[in-house]
Structures are given as C-alpha cells and as structure tokens.
Structure 1
C-alpha cells in the first residue's frame, strides 16, 4: 500500500480574485517536507499573491490550505510565528547593525536564553556570509548584503519552513551564486519554498519545482520527473538533405513529426542534415529508430541520441502550450 507524502504546504482549489478577475485560480499545491522547491512563473503569474495567501497576509476568495498542518486562514498568526519569510524587497532600520537587526527579530520569534540567542545569531551570520560585517549599520549595505541579512532574519529561529519571494532577482551573477549556496545550506534542516523567474538557478539547487502561469498550476513535481517526462524527442545527423529519411519515417505510427535543419559539413566537407524526431513511444524509438533509418546501405548516420532537455526548455514549452490552449 502506497503512503501519502509528508506535505509541509498543501492547498485545495485555492483562489484569489480582485474585481472578479482571478489572480490565483484553483491552486492545488503539494510541497513535501524537506524539499527545496522552486516556485516558477512569468512576471504577473501570481507567485507573490500565492505567497501572501499561504502566509495569511491576504484572504482567499475560495479554497483552502495548510502549512505545517495549520489552516492558512484560521491559524495564520501561528503559521507566521513558525515560518521564516523574506519579502521581495526587504526593509530594515538603517541605523541598526546587522547583529542588532537579528537580535531585534529574535526577540519576537526565538525561544531560548540570551546566550542561546547570541549563539544562534553568530551561527546564522556565518551561514549567510556576513561575518566581518555584522557590526556595521545596515544603511551602508549593498543590495546583496541586504538580501543575505533578509535570509538571516528569515532563518533566525531555525524554522521548519522558509519562504523566499524572489531572493536573487536584483543580484548580479556572483551574488546569485552566493544566494544559491545559502539556500543549499538549509537542505536537511529546513524546507525552502522560493519564488523566482531565473530557471537556471532552480535547476542548480532545487529538487522540486512548481510552475504557475496566469494564476493556474501548469506543472508540479520533482526536477527529474519533469525532465524525464519530456524526453520524447530524438535527434540524428545524416549525410545528405534528410528528405529521404523523413519520407521513410513519416508513416511510422509512433512518430509524431519530424523537423529538418541544415547540419554542419563534416571533415570531408560532405553536406549533412539534422533531424529532430518527436515520438509517442520513447522506448520503442530507442530500440527501433536507428535501425529503421539505417535499413539501407546508402544512409550514413554520424550522430544519434535522445534529446537532452533543460528546465528552461520545459518551462517555455509548458507556458507557450498553456497560452495556445486558451
């Protein structure tokens, strides 16, 4: 008998409308405990509104949800006491130092003696890379340093769940790299649910992804499942224009379509073509496609394989497919 996953975030038909326009529509999230989950979507997809709904900062028009087993409407105050949160544009008192800021936040959320609080502040300052700058006023911090401090205040009470809204959107490549390392450091200690539109970042550190478009859930699952589920294209490079190969394959039942693009001439300056073959049965294609192509002695295949997808490819296909379906 299969067991249900331990979900730290769960919603059922969660909906938020403004003036009869749905910003989030019938959203069913299922985020497993212990995961690092990238929350993806184009600008305006409804990511920030979803986060506000989860934290009880706005009330849903309909539907429901739970975080840590608590209801997002009735138990929102209790949820916010237990969940670390970083807003998209964090605000701090500029005259306070980073250490004083964390001490102030800890006074609301951290349970323990003064020595335990100071020990935790030292620990989180080290984790986010602010050691050496902890006693400087925040008003002199760069954007990246403010984001580090934002994550530190979100994680000060060692929460089971950390929610980050676009934590790396305003950072340069080095700042983004450092931010990803910080997020990765929480693995095994906290669940991290973070919104972003930077797909490469998600593929680098996340084990799960949720994709939202126009307020609707269009994909949800592990990175591996999402990539494996879309491995239905093969590519092969042949000598010649490829038209003969296309004609040979066009009536095969498990082949959906074939696209031909000019290839790069080989070392003997022979003309080549690259064929992209989309199939309905990848296993059958893996066993039979090359044999079908090389069934005559005239065909020379210089490259053959299953197309490797990146998360960006899947994201674009899903979003554009959703747009065309409407």
Structure 2
C-alpha cells in the first residue's frame, strides 16, 4: 500500500559562507511512517530540520510539507507540526500537567473537561501519569524528553519532528523514549533525526542516511538490510589483530574487515560474499598464526550498522 507523501524535497540545498551544509537533498517521507533521518554529527540533519520548519531559508532547491511550500507557506505548515528540539526547555517550577495545560492554551479552545482529557491522554501516551503533578526540576533526562514529546503531540499534529530525541540519554531513558516513538505510529507521521543506529533499526520503518550534507541511501529498513549480498561474521579476540586481519583480507570472498575495542577484547567484523567458504575457513585463518585467541565466533545477520559504516567510510568520513 502506497501512502501519500508528507515531506518531499527536491534538490534542497543550504550553504553557510560558501560552505555546503546540505547538497541537493531529495527526500520522500510517507504518511504514517516512522522515518529515521540518520547520520553522523555534522552531517546536516539539524540544518534539514530548520529548513523544513522555515527557520532558515534554502540556498537552492525546494520542499513541501502536506503539499505546501516550506518557504512561502511556513506559518501555515507549522500549525500542523509538533517539534521537539534536541534539548527541550521547560519552566522548572511547573509540573508536567501544568506544562501541557500551558502549551495547549495556544492550540485548543475547547471546554475544560476536553482539555483535561487531552492532557491525561498525552501523559498516558508517554508514561508519565505517576509524575504528572511533580515539578519538572526533579525529572530525569528521559522523563524530560518524554514530556517534550507529549508537549509536541498535544495539539494532535499531522507531523511530528524530533531532533535527536534519545541522543544524550542512558540506556533506560533511551528505551523509554523509543517505546513512546513506536506508540506514536498510530497517531501521526514521525520524522526524527539520530546518529544512533540501533534506535533506527528498532523503531523505524523508513530511513534516510545523510553524510557530509549528501543523501547516500533512502528506503525501507527491510530493503536496506536486504540490499546487500554480504553476510557478516563476528569474532571476539585477544592478541595480534593486525596480523589476523592481514590474513583474512587476502581471501577473495572477504569484502570488508572492521575491528573495534570491546570490554578489553577486540571485536572483528568480517563481511563475506561466500557463506560456505567463511564457515570452512574463517576461524582457521583467524587462529592460523597462533598469535590470536578467539573467545567467540558467530555469524550475524546483516545489520544497519554494517551498511552505515560501509557507506560513511566509503565516502571518506573523518571525525
């Protein structure tokens, strides 16, 4: 089933003092999707969001939201959008219930009972019913983000834009925010930016990958994960990793090798094009020089992280 397009950009570009922050972006965000806008820090994600919200003007190209031009119709567009910045700000002395009531005054003029019911609905949606009447100054980072989502959603927007909603949270806070985002699927279209790959794979159905201002991939998560013929094997090792990697890279069925530190060990990720050859030979190659101890070895399903690393490193990303 094809859903209508909520956000569409055509060659949308933005330069700051002759430096290109965004280059000819072509996005298509379907209605009722949870659209993950993925990229490393500095990729151009926040610039894109500011352009969509009409907070800055494009240098070239165009964009529409609900079929309306993001430059000429920005005021009209914003009335149908909920927005959560990366670090939301609140009146610390207010409670969550008071904050939502204060926000709702700008959008809804219904009777008091309807206002109270909507506030209760939002508090339940984000799991803050038991914190509703506590001052915000005592809230954790995750609770603040969830309150920010409730605040952005309280006017029943047709589109919710979230800028790095889980970036600075601990694992429990991230989990709670992602659960809220997943619940929003039946309420609105969600367009959210992140540099955390696992978040995208958990809750998104559609994703775009941005790197150095360039759109390098776009599609459903399923299509991106199925797009490559490669399989990935993980080996947790101790010892001379460089020599082991050199041995592995000589094999014609090995396409990529990446290593990273992990809890005092080294995790080697090997992408291969021939599963049988890898099963037969890879572990022997790792241990061939007796310079390495392998503590864990297993095949992994293709992950978004592997696709992301291949794309970004292939474009010569530097931190």
> TM-score w.r.t. structure 2 length?
0.79
Determine the structure 1 residue equivalent to 2:215.
217
How many Å separate the matches in 2 of 1:110 and 1:65? 28
Q: How far did 1:98 drift?
A: 1.2
**Which residue of 310, 319, 322 maps to 2:312?**
319
How many Å separate the matches in 2 of 1:161 and 1:28? 18
Determine the structure 2 residue equivalent to 1:51.
49
- Provide the secondary structure at the position in 2 that maps to 1:25: strand
**Which residue of 303, 308, 311 maps to 1:310?**
303
Q: How far did 1:67 drift?
A: 1.0
1:145-224 matched pairs, under 5 angstroms: 145-224=143-222
**C-alpha contact 1:110 1:156 (8 A) present in aligned 2:** no
**C-alpha contact 2:141 2:173 (8 A) present in aligned 1:** no
Determine the structure 2 residue equivalent to 1:72.
70
Q: How far did 1:278 drift?
A: 4.8
User: Per-residue displacement from partner, 1:57-93 (whole Å, max 9, x unpaired)?
Assistant: 1111111101122111111111111111100111111
Determine the structure 1 residue equivalent to 2:107.
109
Q: Quickly say closer, same or farther: Cα 1:83–1:234, change in 2 above 3 A.
A: closer
- Provide the secondary structure at the position in 1 that maps to 2:306: helix
Q: How far did 1:257 drift?
A: 5.9
User: Per-residue displacement from partner, 1:91-110 (whole Å, max 9, x unpaired)?
Assistant: 11122221111111111123
Q: How far did 1:277 drift?
A: 7.7
User: Per-residue displacement from partner, 1:2-52 (whole Å, max 9, x unpaired)?
Assistant: x97511110001111110111111111111111111111111111111111
> 5+ residue gaps in structure 2?
234-248, 258-269, 281-297
Determine the structure 1 residue equivalent to 2:6.
8
Q: How far did 1:309 drift?
A: 1.2
> TM-score w.r.t. structure 1 length?
0.77
**C-alpha contact 1:70 1:79 (8 A) present in aligned 2:** yes
User: Per-residue displacement from partner, 1:221-242 (whole Å, max 9, x unpaired)?
Assistant: 000100101133487xxxxxxx
Q: How far did 1:139 drift?
A: 2.3
Determine the structure 2 residue equivalent to 1:63.
61
Q: Quickly say closer, same or farther: Cα 1:93–1:217, change in 2 above 3 A.
A: same
Q: How far did 1:256 drift?
A: 8.5
User: Per-residue displacement from partner, 1:99-126 (whole Å, max 9, x unpaired)?
Assistant: 1111111111235333212111001011
User: Per-residue displacement from partner, 1:168-205 (whole Å, max 9, x unpaired)?
Assistant: 11111011111111001111221111111111111011
Q: Quickly say closer, same or farther: Cα 1:70–1:113, change in 2 above 3 A.
A: farther
Q: How far did 1:143 drift?
A: 1.7
Q: Quickly say closer, same or farther: Cα 1:234–1:214, change in 2 above 3 A.
A: closer
Determine the structure 1 residue equivalent to 2:225.
227
**Which residue of 85, 94, 97 maps to 1:96?**
94
Q: Quickly say closer, same or farther: Cα 1:234–1:171, change in 2 above 3 A.
A: closer
Determine the structure 2 residue equivalent to 1:85.
83
- Provide the secondary structure at the position in 2 that maps to 1:136: coil
Q: How far did 1:146 drift?
A: 1.2
- In the TM superposition, structure 1's runs of 4+ consecutive aligned residues that sit over 4 Å from their partners are 255-259, 276-279
Q: How far did 1:135 drift?
A: 1.5
**C-alpha contact 1:98 1:136 (8 A) present in aligned 2:** yes
Q: How far did 1:308 drift?
A: 2.4
- Provide the secondary structure at the position in 2 that maps to 1:84: strand
